Amino acid sequence: MKISEGDTLPQVKISKVGESGPEQLDTREFFAGRKVALFAVPGAFTPTCSAKHLPGFSEKAKELKDKGVDEIACISVNDPFVMAAWQKADGSGDVTMLADGNGDFAEAVGLTMDGSNFGMGRRSQRYSMLVEDGQVRKLNVEKPGDFSVSSAEHMLTQL
């Protein structure tokens, strides 16, 4: 079942690279007590994700935070090392890179896609969501091949 606005995010484990290596995160704890602009991409270093999605949130970070966003996070079905390398290559220090290595989060929110035709297997759909204290306030899911409603610019209009 696909998550909807008003729903509480499911509790699953995700990860990120910290100072001493990979750190496991609990989604309930990560999103608790704050406003998070979360966006999901099908894969790190992929064309639209690298050329538009991540750079857009990085460029609009100050504006998002000025409108009350506490944290901006990108999640993808990649391992934490790939997400850290992508952040380093992109220079997006204002975006927390979250790894959904096994696709558990994408599956739990019902936003998976099958990228097998591209050799990518099961991945996350492209979307953005505004999460307040673990509850989905805005959800913007792209149609396959599109990039518009999940952009940072669109999210700014929703704040």
**Which residues are known catalytic residues?**
49
User: How far is it, in rounded angstroms, from Cα 123 to Cα 41?
Assistant: 8
Q: Which residues, other chains included, contact 152 with Cβ-Cβ below 8 Å and sequence gap of 6+?
A: 37, 39, 56, 57, 59, 60, 64, 128
Which residues partner with 112 through β-bridges? 124
Q: 35 and 27 in contact (C-beta within 8 Å)?
A: no
